[in-house]
Amino acid sequence: MLNDKTILITGGTGSFGKKFIEIVLKEHKPRKLIIYSRDEMKQFEMQEQLKDWNVLRFFIGDVRDKEQLSLTMSGVDYIIHAAALKIVPAMEYNPGEAIKTNVIGAMNIIECAIKHGVKKVIALSTDKACNPINLYGATKLCSDKLFVAANAYSGSAEMRFSVVRYGNVVGSRGSVVPFFRGKRKEGVIPITDPRMTRFWITLEQGVRFVLKNLKRMHGGEVFIPKIPSMNIMDLAKAVAPECETTIIGIRPGEKLHEVMISADDSYNTIELDDAYVIKPAFTWWDHGNHMEGKSVPDSFYYSSDTNKEWLTIPQLQEMIGE
């Protein structure tokens, strides 16, 4: 469905953006692939690496800048919104910056997409948006609600907005794997809490899940993949088996376990073969959508500590190697 289409990706020079562009260029034939991001050096490096591809267009800009954002959307068919400020402690200390990018930026994406008649928009979310206890999670929950509600006032049956929510990404910028690798040289791995668990997904799995939902979305859904959990002690052993560990305590705004579907969301959630879908609780939603799915039990919740699938240390080592 991407062949001969124009796709815009915000945050296109980030970890997800790089993998998304790699897969799209390798497996599809888009008319144009627009990379929109703030960092001109990363754009320059990407241009050098991909200089043989004439379908790429690079725009320097911030999702906070509505006018610049609007200039990039003329003729765009699909938008993947991956731009965000996401480092939890930094967002706790700089709450206004998180709101400007993650909330106001989301509003700008929606308004510009409606103005230009973009057919489909998928926004990337996070497990931290479910029952948030930190500002990053709260801003992403707010963003999710904005994209779901955008379907009600887009004014066009052809325009669709949906959300993909998934867990921690292996090796992404700012994640725990590069941090543990750095600490490996010191011989001691700092652990916040040995009981801590997280959902775990690779960049490629994340990109392919987004592409799959871009095809099957009806508008208004929050898609959550069925993915395994891991324990932080197992991850430390996978990254640095020879190192000792020291317990430093949970950081501000950090959870012991992550939840991607709360019990309160269970009444609007259906289960597919590969995912869960939180349906929008709005009158405009067509209840004939996703008829292949089945309702989850009342009070069902999807949490990293009660997950049925767990990664072993060898499996973690294999994922980290990839």
Cβ within 8 Å of residue 198, ≥6 positions away: 127, 167, 168, 229, 230, 232, 257, 258, 304
**Residue count (the chain):** 322
Q: Can you name the residues that pair with 80 across neighbouring β-strands?
A: 9, 122
Q: Which residues are catalytic?
A: 128
**DSSP 8-state symbol, 256:** S
Question: How far is CA 240 from each of CA 10, 184, 316, rounded to the nearest angstrom?
Answer: 34, 6, 12
**DSSP 8-state symbol, 104:** I
Cα–Cα dist 293/121, whole Å: 22
By the 8 A CB rule, do 78 and 5 touch? yes
Cα–Cα dist 226/308, whole Å: 10
Cα–Cα dist 97/208, whole Å: 30
CA 161, chain centre distance (Å)? 15
By the 8 A CB rule, do 8 and 72 touch? yes
Dihedral angle, C-alpha 83, 87, 88, 92, nearest 10 °: -90
Task: Determine the residue type at 69.
Answer: L
By the 8 A CB rule, do 227 and 203 touch? no
By the 8 A CB rule, do 85 and 102 touch? yes
